[in-house]
Amino acid sequence: MKKCLCIDGSTNRPSGSRRGAILGFLVLQIVACLVAVDSAMAQSAVHAPGAAPTHPADFSGIWMDAQESERFNRKLELPYRPDWAERYRQIRERVARGEHIHDGTSECLPPGMPHFFFFLYPIEILMTPGQVTILTEYFNETRRIFTDGRAHPPADELEATFRGHSIGRWQGKTLVVDTVGVRADTVFSAGGQPHSDQMHIIERIHASGPNTLEWEATIEDPVAFLHPYVMNAKLKRAPAQDEIREYVCEENRTPEVYAPPKP
């Protein structure tokens, strides 16, 4: 009769209880391996290129302005309060005289909001679980919209930034974005329209077709505005071969164009 080669290398036939212990050990090892493999596959699926985002709609891709958006309209009739209207009137008078409107972008500082999303330069939208990320060719900027259910930081902890703090939620297939905390030294658009540090922006983004995005921003500013103001933009999907290119503001600066206005 042949002897049994046991798992521990001995030739003694294990007892029933010992065989049970060995079998239990092997089962635990197999389960542990399966859990590890499953976890690794899940992580790979989240970070793999082209992985399906956990969002009701997919805006992923590179987009371009489909029309001359309000960013280029220097005659926006904003609902300013009287003192802010006077401030803006002086800006428009300078424009009429052909003077250059000085804002942060003339010093290679990033654009603010809603200036950020009215561009002739393309943008790229990345959608991952819990976040929508927008990359711009203009100034090579990054904007993060958190869709993981978080709230804005408390007012005394909110840090004012060029893009503010943005959180998003879905209404059907429309992404609704709430933004606060935008720096007051930025402007609305190329027209140089001012705003206060209390500006609050609600954006609504939806696809009106496979290659078209509709973008609407309702802007509230209890300090500067009498009532909310609505801006719109339409974006078209860029050709498949397009990509976001490098943009270095400092290489485009010239003293004649970007010199600050004289007092």
pLDDT tens for each residue of 184-241: 988 877 777 889 999 999 999 999 999 999 999 999 999 999 999 998 888 899 888 8
Residue indicated by tokens 């203009």: 138
**Residue range 2-16: average pLDDT?**
48
Q: What is the pLDDT of residue 154?
A: 94
Which uninterrupted H or E stretch holds 217? strand 212-220
Under 8 Å between Cβ of 189 and 76 = yes
Contact between residue 128 and residue 46 where contact means Cβ atoms under 8 Å apart: yes
If one compares 3 and 95, the residue with the highest pLDDT of the two is 95
Supply the pTM of this predicted model.
0.70
List domains and CATH numbers for the chain: 1-51 (no CATH), 61-258 (2.40.128.20)
Q: Which residue has the higher pLDDT, 41 or 209?
A: 209
d(CA 34, CA 32): 5
Q: Tokens 């092997």 appear where?
A: 26
Residue 243 is predicted with a pLDDT of 80
User: Alpha helices of the chain — where are they, by DSSP H?
Assistant: 16-47, 82-96, 255-258
Rounded percentage of the chain residues whose pLDDT exceeds 90: 38
Residues 236-263: what's their mean pLDDT? 67
Lowest-pLDDT choice from 84-93, 112-121, 163-172, 252-261: 252-261
* Cβ within 8 Å of residue 40, ≥6 positions away: none
The arithmetic mean of pLDDT across residues 65-72, rounded, is 60
Task: Please identify which residue in the block is written with the tokens 């696809």.
Answer: 207
Q: Which residues contact 158 (CB under 8 A, 6 or more apart)?
A: 152, 165, 180, 181
Torsion sign (Cα): 139, 142, 145, 150? negative
For residues 98 and 92, give the distance between their C-alpha atoms in angstroms, rounded to a whole number: 10
3-state secondary structure of 105: helix
Encoded tokens for 72: 């280029």
